[in-house]
Structure formats: structure tokens, C-alpha cells
Amino acid sequence: MSASAPPPPRSRGPRPYALELHEQVPAQLDETVLACVRHGRALPPPADARCIDVPLALLQGPGCEIWRSATPVRQNREGRIAYAENGEVLLGHVHLPEAALADLSAASESLYRELQGFLRRSGYGACLRIWNYLADITKGQGDAERYRQFVLGRYHALAQQDGFERELPAATAIGLQDGGLLIYFLAAREGGTQIENPRQLSAFQYPRQYGPKSPSFSRANYLAWSDGAQLLVSGTASVVGHETAHAAQAQRQLDEILINLEALLAEADRRAARTHVWQPTLIKLYLREAAHLSAASARLDAWLPPQVPRMILLGEVCRSDLELEIEGIFGVGL
């Protein structure tokens, strides 16, 4: 992080979207839906281009996210990217089949270049949050590992812009149980404030041991909407500095993750120069093994207020010694 104090987040207009959680997918998506994100295996074919299917086994919680706009949306497709937008934010997605990933680094670079060009042309040049789901994410040895190859391609695409590390989105990278690469993203006309975790080395500064290039994401993105602050939190694991803490020990890793999340919320307060009473509005937990479900769920119950929605999914974390990972959205009134 920079030695000089960065400016506090600048206030924006009212938040132009809301997130709803549903047990069942609505029969029809109305004109205010930016996206319907469906989690689960063997999902029925989507009836609407705004449906984004994440084929991870749903272990607990509601499986459907509705990203709802405050105003009617316009939906379209450009190249491989399907999207909907409302004049203030855009939510898009793209899926590449496994056959397109023979050279994963090249495929990742091509896709991220396409995404960057699309966002510039569309007027939504600030990517706030992005989700990356890749089949067999830790398959391969050394630098041939699929995640490292994905990271390499993404880096080459993003590094075309000078100083790109200062404008990175919050992100998740999780292993799919079906083939291919799925990416979906939230973008806006104006960027948020990149938040890094004082307990962790910024991912884009990771040393060479983690691959030819460092991962390109921020720990969180702070959005100062006029009707309430929001923190979009990246996938957060049991990493201290740059090293895995408590390798292969799921419960101790979960405790470390919660400490990391508390540190991240405190850092967001510091950057905003105010103390927020952060309330989680969605917590999503990814487990490498379903056997960890009972203990992990009980620990979340002890940490979260009972009314907070949580979703627990079976998904492979991007380091083989990490058993679980948490992402989330936190909000507060300003």
C-alpha cells in the first residue's frame, strides 16, 4: 500500500441496484432484473439471457440471487458477453466451454482483453466486482497449474493499462465441478475505492513462488452510495501475509478467515475516515469438502446475526492447501 494517505471514498448517487435471495428461481424475470444468478447442479436450461448458472453443489441456503435494478434495464449481447444495464451499472457474463481452454493462458488473456474493450466502449469502464469459476482449478504441476495459467493470461490483458493495480475489482476464483470457464461481473461508470487488508500482502504483490505473475484483484471495493456505504468483499481465505495459515485444517482456517474479514472492515473504516456499523447482507462460503459443512455452518451461526443470508457451496479453492473461502457483501447507512 502507498505510504501517502489516499483520499477518502467520494460519495456517489443512490445505489442503483439491490440484491435479493430466493429459494426458487422466479418463473419469469421482469424488466427490473439485471441478473439472476442460479447456483446448483443439474439446473434446468435458462429461459432468459440474464440467467447466470454457477454449477456448484448448493449445500445450504438460498440458491438464487436476483440483482434488481431501481429502474427498467436494457439487455443485449456483444461478442461473447451477454449483459443488462440500467444507465448506472451493468451486469454481464460469459462462459467458455472446456474446448476453448486448450491454451488456458491465451484464452484467459483473450477473454479479459475482450472484457476490457467492451467495458470501455459501453461507458461502464469501472469493473467493481468479478467472479471467475474455472474447472479443475488446481490441476497441473508448478506453473502449468490451471489457476496459474488463468492468472497469467488475465495479467497480460490488464497490464496493458498503466497503473492497473490501483483500480482492481474485488474478485473470486473458485473451481467448477463442470468444464469450462465462467465469468460474471458488475461494472459502473465510476470506480469504487480499492481496499487492501493490512494482515495480508496485496495479491498483486505476491512473490514468484505463486506463479509467473501475481493475481490481479483487490481485497474489497468500497462504494459510498448516498443512501449507504457498501463493501464488496473478495474471496477471503486463511492467508496471512502471502502464506497459507493452518494448511488443511478447516476449522482453524475458518477462524483465520473471520479475523481477516474483521481486519478488512476496520481498514475500510480507516480509509473512509469514519466508523461504520457494518452489517453483512450476504455471506457466501465455499467448501472444498462437504464433510466440513456441519462444523463450518455452526461457526458461521456463532459469528453472524441469525437474519443474515448465507449460502454454502461445494467449490475448490485456488490453493490446494486451502479448505474454504468466504466472500461477502457488507452494508451500512451513511
Query: Any alpha helices (H) in the chain, and if so which ranges?
Result: 104-122, 146-158, 250-272, 293-303
Q: What 3-state DSSP class applies to 266?
A: helix
> How far apart, in whole angstroms, are the C-alpha atoms of residue 181 and residue 171?
15
Phi, psi of 292 (to 5 degrees): -85, -5
| Cα-to-chain-centroid distance, residue 202 | 16
Cβ of 126: how many Cβ atoms within 10 Å?
Answer: 17
What is the grid cell recorded at 128? 467493481
What is the grid cell recorded at 250? 478447516
Q: Length of the chain in residues, anyone? A: 334
Identify the helix (H) or strand (E) that includes residue 145. Answer: none
CA distances from 116 to 101, 150, 212, 216, 243 (A): 19, 16, 22, 14, 30
Q: What 3-state DSSP class applies to 154?
A: helix
- The catalytically annotated residue of 145, 196, 316, 325 is 325
* Per-residue DSSP letter, 85: E
CA angle 282, 288, 290 (to 5 degrees): 85
What is the grid cell recorded at 80? 461473447
Decide if 196 is catalytic. Answer: no
Where in the sequence numbering do the catalytic residues fall?
325
